[in-house]
Amino acid sequence: MQEAQRAEYNHALEYAVQRANELGQRLLVVFGLTDGYPEANLRHYAFLLEGLQEVKEELKERKIKFVVRRDSPDEVAHDASKNASLIVCDMSYLRLQKEWRERVAREAGCLVVQVETEVVVPVELASNKQEHAARTLRPRIREHLDEFLVELERTEVEKQSLNMKDDGLDLSDVGAILDDMGLDRNVAPISHLYRGGTKAAKGILEDFIKSRLGTYVEHRNQPQTDDVSHMSKYLHYGHISPIQVALKIRAANPPKKTSTLTSKSS
């Protein structure tokens, strides 16, 4: 779990649970915490760790072991999977993150499966070429929305993994972890305004739907208003699923269908 840092609406996680059940194996979820992520600072890491703190508690309720280790994500995944039957990675498109996954796949002693869960429509399906404008990509995405905008059912774990050896960080004290990291400290955390985690993300989304969705289209490009969703940071860290956001928005503001033609393009 590196890109989709959440315990719900996580296709990679649910796939991993399903395969663990099929294989009769326990599931271990790991996250690699590296100090040296490009351009990251104290604020970023505080937000990230607040989210991971919540992930650990939610996975514990599902009887799944979650471990955060200090090291490069590819090294953490490689070390944790020495005796694994299968490795499941969440998808990412950034160069450094792709390199991590490629190294894991190259050196793993078992099958490695990568699962997309951070977009609504998979990039390869939406377009097989470089798009130069959003106006050319949007219609391609809309063609597949009904296929992918669906609820994700949770799979029950058949074999608990909570008794697996815990050699990860103590996430109960985020401040202590941050104090021990070599980070750019010029930008302070803003947890009093925006706390990391799925619960905070869902609360802010509900407030947006209730208070600002109705005027979003009119005011979204007006800097003097606050009619925005504030979802970008939560989507960036994978604390909330874009599918979950889209389904909530659609339920609150269903598309108008006047004809078959407009239905397909709306």
Taking only the tens place, the pLDDT of each residue in 31-54 is: 999 988 888 999 999 999 999 999
Question: What CATH number does the domain located at 11-159+169-194 have?
Answer: 3.40.50.620
Query: What is the DSSP code string of 65-110?
Result: EEEEEES-HHHHHHHHTTT-SEEEEE---SHHHHHHHHHHHHH-SS
Distances (CA, A) of 51 to 133, 168, 216, 230: 33, 16, 27, 16
Residue 256 Cα distances to 204, 215, 220, 249, 265, angstroms: 26, 17, 21, 14, 11
Phi, psi of 43, rounded to the nearest 5 degrees: -60, -45
The HSE-up count of residue 196 (CA atoms within 13 Å, CB side) is 21
pLDDT above 70 coverage of the chain, percent: 95
Q: How far apart are alpha carbons 65 and 245 in whole angstroms?
A: 27
Strands 86-90 and 65-70: unpaired
Residues 6+ apart with CB under 8 A from 91: 3, 12, 114, 115, 116, 117, 118
Residue 243 contacts residue 141 (beta carbons within 8 Å): no
* 19-23, 25-29, 79-83, 234-238, range with the lowest pLDDT: 79-83
| The two structure tokens encoding residue 111 | 């099958």
Which pLDDT score is estimated for 58?
Answer: 98
Token duo for residue 168: 């990860």
pTM summary value: 0.91
d(CA 266, CA 264): 6
Read off the pLDDT of each residue in 53-72 and give the average, rounded to a whole number.
97
Look at residue 265 and tell me whether its pLDDT is greater than 60.
Answer: no
pLDDT of residue 120: 95
**% the chain with pLDDT above 90:** 82
pLDDT at 262: 41
Rounded to the nearest integer, the mean pLDDT of the chain is: 92
Question: Which pLDDT tens digit goes with each residue over 97-121?
Answer: 999 999 999 999 999 999 999 999 9
The two three-digit tokens of residue 178, written as one number: 């941050």
pLDDT in tens, 187-243: 999 999 999 999 999 999 999 999 999 999 999 888 888 899 999 999 999 999 999
Higher-confidence residue: 264 or 169? 169
Q: Is the pLDDT assigned to residue 264 strictly greater than 80?
A: no
